[in-house]
Amino acid sequence: MKRFLPIIPSLGLLLQSCGSNPNPTPPAEKSTPQTATNTASEPESPKPKSGESRQFFVTGVVEGLKLGEGKVIVRHEDIPEFMEAMTMPFNVKNTNEFSAIGTNDQIHFRLVVEETRSWIDRVTRVGSVAAMKKPRREFRRVRDVEPLKVGDVLPNYPLTNQFGKLFHTDDYRGQALAFTFIFTRCPMPEFCPLMSRNFKKVYEEMQNDASLTNWQLLTISFDVEADTPKVLNGYSKIHGVDSSRWNFATGALIEIDDITERFGLAFSRMEGTILFDHTLRSVILDPQGKIDKIYIGNAWKPEDFAKDLKAAALIKPAQ
């Protein structure tokens, strides 16, 4: 069944066609989806070294308050040398600073970023703005999907890796596959960069066990306009990725919307930005392509994740 949902015009995240390939090269250790070499590299936002912090003074508009969770959602201006203008959730150091601040208030604040955490403080209200006027609606095609749960078989999604090579998720059958979701423009240390750091530790844990060879890691970007194969290739190099075991991928908008919605990732797409509440998801599939584990949030430990991935790798493939 197809359904049509409203979307804001001039969508910043346009459909990226994956094309078709009747004879895909499996991304297993037999031959990962690396093939073509792409030397392009995109710089990532500078990160503080251990024990250091960076400070930015930012102006933005409050889009939502989640003070019970210690968070506020702000549509902020460009933060030079850190993050382009977008709508993001921020950790609040002292929620009392928001006692007289509401939605649509314009605020000025300090953003402090350390290696593994960030927060905002020194918040002042500088005015208010009218609620954003809803533009004329346009439509894009999406699928009517059901949520996926443990034990379900993952649908066969066509994706494109960091080398521009088309593959399908079914190409991983016979191996345990762990995947997570990011977008490379997110520099907040508790979110997408944390997922990449954790996957690097999972990779190292798995490499230390020579008895298991049937496993793969996959990082999927949902920012289909900005995270091109060229960008993903540069990002993977920053993280020292071994593409025989760990690949980065994107896909057509309809495919990315399908897989993220099935796992409960909550975000919307607007011109020039993604509104994302960082309800992170990471998933392990067994060699039969069935969902073995679903991790919600960012609190999981790489060593525990690697242990679960090893257990999934021991499950025999379907005959």
pLDDT at 133: 56
Same domain, 166 and 244: yes
Are residues 309 and 176 located together in one domain of the fold?
A: yes
Give the distance from CA 59 to its chain's centroid.
25
What range does the domain containing 120 cover? 53-128
Q: How far is it, in rounded angstroms, from Cα 13 to Cα 250?
A: 12
Same domain, 268 and 123: no
- Please, which pLDDT band fits residue 84 given cuts at 50, 70 and 90? confident
| C-alpha–C-alpha distance, residues 159 and 167, integer Å | 6
pLDDT band at 274 (very low <50, low <70, confident <90, very high): low
How many residues does the structure list for the chain? 319
The pLDDT value given to residue 39: 38
Rounded to an integer, what distance in angstroms lies between the CA atom of residue 76 and that of residue 126? Answer: 14
Residues 81 and 174 in one domain: no
Q: Are 104 and 127 in contact (CB under 8 A)?
A: no
Q: Is 169 helix (H, G, I), strand (E, B) or coil?
A: helix
Q: Is the entire prediction scored with pTM above 0.75?
A: yes
Give backbone dihedrals phi and psi of 245, rounded to 5 degrees, phi first. Answer: -125, -25
In a domain, residue 318? The reply is: no
Are both 250 and 283 inside the same structural domain?
yes
Lowest mean pLDDT among 82-91, 113-122, 191-200: 82-91
For 5-22, how does the pLDDT look when each residue is reduced to its tens digit (9 = 90+)?
443 333 333 333 333 333
Q: Is the residue at 319 inside a domain?
A: no
Q: What CATH number is associated with residue 257? A: 3.40.30.10
Distance CA 177, CA 214 (A): 9
Rounded percentage of the chain residues whose pLDDT exceeds 70: 76
Q: Please indicate, yes or no, if residue 144 is contained in any of the structural domains.
A: yes
pLDDT band at 32 (very low <50, low <70, confident <90, very high): very low
CATH of the domain at 109: 2.40.50.320
Tell me what pLDDT residue 269 has: 58
CA-to-CA distance for 33 and 25, rounded, in angstroms?
7
Does residue 88 lie in a domain region? yes
Q: How many domains is the chain partitioned into structurally?
A: 2
Q: Is 28 a domain residue? A: yes
My answer on whether 31 and 176 are in the same domain is yes
Per residue in 99-156, pLDDT tens?
Answer: 999 999 999 999 999 999 999 999 999 999 987 654 444 444 556 788 999 999 999 9
Q: How far apart are CA 214 and CA 246, in angstroms?
A: 12
Same domain, 300 and 228: yes
The more confidently predicted of residues 132 and 2 is 132
Whole-number Å distance between alpha carbons of 157 and 171: 10
Closest by CA to 212, choosing from 169, 171, 170, 176, is 176
